[in-house]
Chain A
């Protein structure tokens, strides 16, 4: 083990094993980084329209036939409602889920020590391409007005079917490699990883059947949707992030992988409570009280595993603080670990009936989902990708990438905090205003206004960080492609 290296991941894996994944995973990470930027740009277009509602409504002025048609399409495709649906779906399926699937594929290789054969690699490439086609088709579907209207599950039926097929190949590949593993005791990161591999298709399949096949009606599709989003957020994306945290944190610090206190009980709490926690998003909604109440309880009790998991990550990081300070990858992972707990606490708070009366349906919801999607999931994913890329290429990250990754961290970190602060105040004032019935509805919007601009500033910082990230990923992958590009400029 070479102390001068940034991330010492070599010791736990087989170099050939990581290298064999270079092709598919480079493609995957580049695509997912591009989707991240697409999603943030769409988000910007949407957000901007809240203050300038006529932003893209060019139709009135322009009469020329073809140009007019083009602007008409822009207006249709990017109006607030569709842009928001597109932002959310691209964020989840293009960036987060795809990125974490990449991480999962890599981690499966590491944990099972099984190589993918050549044909397997082609299948994987095909599946990744198919996944991206699915996201693209879904995005076009949302633009052209075929969104399902269930936030986070907005892609039309055919796009969802493509995604499911693509996942079937990826998931089967991972499942088969675990099945071949000779028996031993699973480690913490394996619990979460194997869990997510199975939970995703189960949740997705049930949601697909109930939402798209029109076998139920009334509130049932909404209930299934809320349940699915809970499963996706906590059990799929959350598990994948936790799984990689349990692997990367100890291996970068050079500690034992499976000697973590209370991790096992935390996992089972997490699995059972997480699966129940989705319906709390409907608090106050048209469902029998017990469904929502039991889900609220599950959501609050998630604090127990959340605390244990965050503790498992943070204690070793805290006691190796010097190492953390000099390793940007660990900045990302540490931020993610803390944000997990922050997110669980925020969601628990929001779901309590007294709080939800005022804060629910306000801008605050956007802030909470930013903590989840950005401060927790994306941060972990950034860190993991920066840790994984060198193992794929067999070279250290180019030094410009290293510098930029620090810069990206600070923009992203400050950006998400600013965004959250903005939405927190905007949401609180607006929510309290709405909850105060004597105040005219339109007047409540003005309460939020000053803080709205704070969120805009945060959003711009996050966008900047995302742009740096894409540049970094593309630069790393390209520099590995052209052999002439010599490594090690800053040693």
Chain B
């Protein structure tokens, strides 16, 4: 650029495009205004002040403490760990990943579904009348009891599913009972295992 532009350069234009002095005062005023606006309307940068005209800062009082909703938490676990195979819709992928929506494994015995999650599932199974023959790795080392209970509660309640919640204690009980197990479950083995939760 430089060689060509230098012989074309026009010192006048350089001078002319200077801003008038008063403009800089306007800019300075704008900056000061910006600071003032932020101080007045930022609600102390709190995540709980929504009405900008609030001036009293500090923690918002009243109301109740947040309670953890296992379904919300479970949805997060699900999105992060399961959705890539079983899909966000819970419908799975035909022939590859079985559906969770309406699945008799999900809606059936609490103990079985906990076992499946803890140790994985392998071999031929039938879900919603369609055959699948895949392999799901165990989750027992990936997710703790709390997370497993949350995700199970979630998959048992979304997409039209409507089964009871699973608590971390139930998961802990099954985990303890099957502590010696390392192989994944098969449908046959599951049928043989007790349907009720261990005490």
Which residues on A are within 8 Å of B, measured CB to CB? 11-12, 111, 184, 187, 214-215, 250, 254-262, 286-290, 292-294, 296-297, 300-301, 303-304, 307-308, 311-312, 315-316, 319, 353
Contact = CB atoms under 8 A, between A and B. Distances in A.
A315 B41 contact: no
A292 B42 CA distance: 8
27 contacts: A184-B1, A214-B83, A254-B10, A257-B1, A258-B5, A260-B17, A261-B17, A261-B19, A262-B19, A286-B50, A287-B50, A288-B43, A288-B46, A288-B48, A288-B49, A289-B43, A290-B42, A290-B46, A293-B37, A293-B41, A297-B34, A297-B37, A304-B31, A307-B27, A308-B19, A311-B17, A353-B52
B23 interface: yes
A308 B18 CA distance: 9
B14 to A, nearest CB: 5
Contacts of B33: 300
A294 B79 contact: no
Main secondary structure of the interface of A (DSSP, over half): helix
B8 interface: yes
B9 interface: yes
A256 B79 contact: no
Contacts of A12: 1, 4
Given A111-B1, A255-B9, A287-B50, A312 B17 contact: yes
B4 A293 contact: no
A256 B6 contact: yes
A432 B118 CA distance: 61
A292 B31 CA distance: 17
B52 A301 contact: no
B126 interface: no
A319 B16 CA distance: 9
Contacts of B43: 288-290, 293
Contacts of B9: 255-256, 259
B14 A289 contact: no
Contacts of A260: 14, 17
Interface in B10-53: 10, 12-14, 16-19, 23, 27, 30-31, 33-34, 37-38, 41-52
Contact of B31 (A184, A301, A312): A301
Contacts of A111: 1
Interface of B: 1-2, 4-6, 8-10, 12-14, 16-19, 23, 27, 30-31, 33-34, 37-38, 41-52, 54, 79, 83, 88
Given A255-B9, A259-B9, A301 B41 contact: no
Contact of A255 (B1, B10, B88): B10
Nearest to B34: A297
B31 to A, nearest CB: 7
B2 A288 contact: no
A316 B13 CA distance: 6
Nearest to B12: A319
Contacts of A289: 41-43, 49-52, 54
A214 B88 contact: yes
A259 B14 CA distance: 6
Which of A187, A256, A287, A292 has the most B CB atoms < 10 Å from its CB? A256
Contacts of A304: 27, 30-31
Given A289-B41, A293-B41, A297-B37, A256 B14 contact: yes
Contacts of A353: 41, 52
Q: Which 4 A-B pairs have the closest CB atoms?
A: A256-B9, A289-B52, A289-B43, A290-B42
B8 A255 contact: yes
A356 B170 CA distance: 54
Contact of B8 (A254, A287, A288, A307): A254
Contacts of A294: 38, 42
A215 B27 contact: no
A292 B52 contact: yes
Nearest to B18: A261
A258 B13 CA distance: 11
Given A257-B1, A297-B34, A316-B17, 12 more contacts: A11-B8, A184-B2, A187-B1, A250-B13, A255-B9, A256-B9, A287-B50, A289-B49, A301-B31, A319-B12, A319-B13, A353-B41
B100 to A, nearest CB: 16
B8 A256 contact: yes
Contact of B23 (A250, A297, A307): A307
Nearest to A190: B1
A272 to B, nearest CB: 13
Given A256-B13, A289-B49, A293-B41, A307 B5 contact: no
A212 to B, nearest CB: 11
A289 B17 CA distance: 39
Which of B1, B10, B41, B44 has the most A CB atoms < 10 Å from its CB? B1
A296 B52 CA distance: 12
A108 B51 CA distance: 47
A223 B50 CA distance: 14
A14 to B, nearest CB: 11
A257 B5 contact: yes
Nearest to B31: A301
A303 B27 CA distance: 8
B37 A315 contact: no
Nearest to A288: B47
A261 B17 CA distance: 6
